[in-house]
Amino acid sequence: QVQLQESGPGLVKPSQTLSLTCTVSGASITTSYYAWSWMRQPPGKGLEWMGAIAYSGSTYYSPSLKSRTSISWDTSKNQFTLQLSSVTPEDTAVYYCARGPRPHSDYDYWGQGIQVTVSS
């Protein structure tokens, strides 16, 4: 019943901020006890967890991306967002949003993913 859908620009220029939105239906993002995560998969590489926002509003970030990553939400729209600043071509990846009972594991629902390319 839970559906997640990523949206945002598919092309971002280097040094700019990547902004993506995950729209959730079938469940409230403020309802106990779930976390809502962002992750990505660069071409030919494994899945990388980026961060999450829990139902309480608490945020969690991967140490490697913490300085550039901001996750927030708009509860009135049942959406949560990802902002990744100062992007480079190495940030090119398929980006996913997902739900799980913990901030960075055991995902039970995923969005379909969105391709984001960083290029000038």
Q: How confident is the model at residue 101 (pLDDT cuts 50, 70, 90)?
A: confident
Q: Which residues pair with 20 in a beta bridge?
A: 82
pLDDT for 103 equals 77
Mean pLDDT of 23-46: 96
3-state secondary structure the chain: CCEEEEECCCEECCCCCEEEEEEEECCCCCCCCCEEEEEEECCCCCCEEEEEEECCCCEEECCCCHHHEEEEEECCCCEEEEEECCCCHHHCEEEEEEEECECCECCCEECCCEEEEECC
Please, which residues bridge with residue 24 across strands?
4
Place of tokens 């976390």: 35
Confidence label for 39 from pLDDT (cuts 50, 70 and 90): very high
Question: Does residue 47 have a pLDDT over 90?
Answer: yes
In sequence order, which residues have a C-beta less than 8 Å from that of residue 64 and are 6 or more positions away? Answer: none
The tokens of 7 are what? Answer: 């949206």
Rounded mean pLDDT of the chain? 96
Burial 100-111 (b: 16+ CB within 10 A, else e): beebbeebebbb
Q: Which of the residue ranges 28-32, 72-76, 89-93 would you say has the lowest mean pLDDT?
A: 28-32
Average pLDDT over residues 79-92: 98
